[in-house]
A and B are shown apart, each in its own frame.
Chain A
Amino acid sequence: MRTLAARRRHPAATALLLLMALLVTGAAYTALAPDRADATAAPTVEGATGDVDRGQELFLANCATCHGLQAQGGTAGPSLIGVGAAAVDFQVATGRMPLAQQAPQAPQKPRVFSDQDVADLAAYVASLAPGPAIPEPGQVEVLDDAEDIAAGGELFRINCAMCHNVVGAGGALTQGKYAPSLEGVEGRHIYEAMQTGPQSMPVFNDDNITPEEKQQIISYLDNVQSTPSPGGWSLGSIGPVTEGLFVWVGAMVLLIGCAVWLGAKSS
Chain B
Amino acid sequence: MSISDSDSPLETSQEIRQGPKDEGSTSDLQEQGPTSRRARFRTVFGFIGQLPVGSTLILGTLIFFAVFAPLLAPHDPIKPVEGIYTYTPAAWKDGGSWAQWLGTDFLGRDVWSRIIYGARVSVIVGLTGTAAAGAIGMVMGVVAGYFGGWVDAFIMRVVDAWLAIPTLVLAILLSMTLGASMWNIVLILGVVYWTRYARILRGEVLTLRERDFVKLAEVAGASRIRIIARHIIPNVFNTWMVLASLTVGVVIVAEASLSFLGV
Q: Do A and B bind each other?
A: no
Residues of chain B at the chain A interface (Cβ within 8 Å): none
Residues of chain A at the chain B interface (Cβ within 8 Å): none
